[in-house]
Amino acid sequence: MPYTVEVPRFRGQGKIIFADYEYADPGIGELLVRVQANAICGSDRGQYFNGSSVIPGHEAAGTVVAAGPDTTIPIGTRGVVYLMGFCGQCRSCLVGATNQCRFKRADMGFTADGGFGPYELVQDSAFFPVTDDIEIGNATLLLDVMGTSGHALSRAALVRPDIESVFIAGAGPIGLGLLVMTKLRYGADFPVFVSDISPWRLDFAESLGATPVLATGQSAVGLPPEVDVAFDSSGKESARRTALDLVSQRGVLVCVGHGEGLSLNVSDDLLAPERAIMGSEYFRFDELAENLLLLQVHQESIARIVSHRVAVSDIGDAFELFWSGRTGKVLITQEA
């Protein structure tokens, strides 16, 4: 097996070069995965512009090609890589909250080499197998698109179980994931309003069933009077403020996108209307099984979020396209 291969290295200021890299043999409890697809995410922005000491990419799907001692996943298994190298033994992990692990070993693609390279060395417990009926590129949708979005929807339902309308700030990949997952959970006719500054992305969201809201500076055109739940996937303070102002009595704002802050008047924003503001970070590993069943039934419709598939040799062009705001989800593909 060729363990020394060329990998993309992010040097900062949008410069990506290819350089030789040597992958280690998998150790105790580790798998070597041959990456076949890895989706671009907005959170790759920092590494793209500032550079990275590791190989980025945290939405990988591929096939196990080697396994170290004390592993349970057979060689040849297809699957996806969970972002967080959770310990499995802390207070959070013991109740299934692996996204809140108190002693993470790594964040794949951020503190350890990720999926834009041809291989990824991962812990056995963070690899989730998929069935043969799932196209390997579509398998990446189990991660940020379905996992992060589905988790946020479940968080919202803890506060507001009788949800009748939703607003989503930001029509990037997470916002589009929230749109699709909301429609799958509550029905095709369920009202979902999506805002963005990109007319292209709004048209794309509308094709997936959203009512588009054009955000222009500090205002927005086409806002509903109120909604039961608002999600912010943009990370922008102005978008969060707009979203919170739309939330009805007993409703909830769920912040999914990292970024800026939010100023509050506690009496007017929270106490009197009994609103809640929640954070939602990634998703739990045990949510993957339910989402796989959903993807098996709705693979074609969910995969509509993917607007471009680009070979890793053109990864620089793929990122430029992604930052243009004229894409849905963009997949970087590798030869099998």
Q: Are 41 and 58 spatial neighbours (Cβ–Cβ below 8 Å)?
A: yes
In 40-77 the beta strands, taken as DSSP E runs, fall at: 60-67
Per-residue CA distances from 329 to 132, 175, 205, 306, 308 (Å): 22, 11, 12, 4, 7
Segment 234-245 shows an average pLDDT of 95
Q: 3-class DSSP state for residue 40?
A: coil
Q: Mean pLDDT for the chain?
A: 96
pLDDT tens digits along 109-166: 999 999 999 999 999 999 999 999 999 999 999 999 999 999 999 999 999 999 999 9
pLDDT reported for residue 336? 66
- Which of 210, 208, 213 is closest to 198 using CA atoms? 213
Residue 53's φ and ψ, nearest 5 degrees, are -80, -15
The whole-angstrom separation of Cα 228 and Cα 160 is: 7
pLDDT reported for residue 2? 56
In the chain the beta strands, taken as DSSP E runs, fall at: 4-12, 15-22, 30-39, 60-67, 78-81, 119-123, 127-129, 166-169, 192-196, 211-216, 219-221, 227-232, 247-255, 276-279, 306-311, 329-333
Q: Please report the domains of the chain, with CATH numbers, ordered by start residue.
A: 4-144+283-333 (3.90.180.10), 145-279 (3.40.50.720)
pLDDT tens digits along 167-202: 999 999 999 999 999 999 999 999 999 999 999 999
Enter the tokens of residue 271. 């106490």
Q: Are 254 and 231 spatial neighbours (Cβ–Cβ below 8 Å)?
A: yes
pLDDT reported for residue 1? 57
The whole-angstrom separation of Cα 291 and Cα 164 is: 22
The whole-angstrom separation of Cα 81 and Cα 153 is: 22
pLDDT tens digits along 36-63: 999 999 999 999 999 999 999 999 999 9
Segment 26-36 shows an average pLDDT of 97
This prediction's pTM: 0.96
pLDDT reported for residue 290? 97
Query: CB within 8 A of 189, min separation 6: which ones?
Result: none
Segment 3-25 shows an average pLDDT of 95
Amino acid letter, 139 = A
pLDDT tens digits along 278-315: 999 999 999 999 999 999 999 999 999 999 999 999 99
Enter the tokens of residue 195. 């805002």
Tell me, rounded to whole angstroms, the distance of Cα 317 from its chain centroid.
21
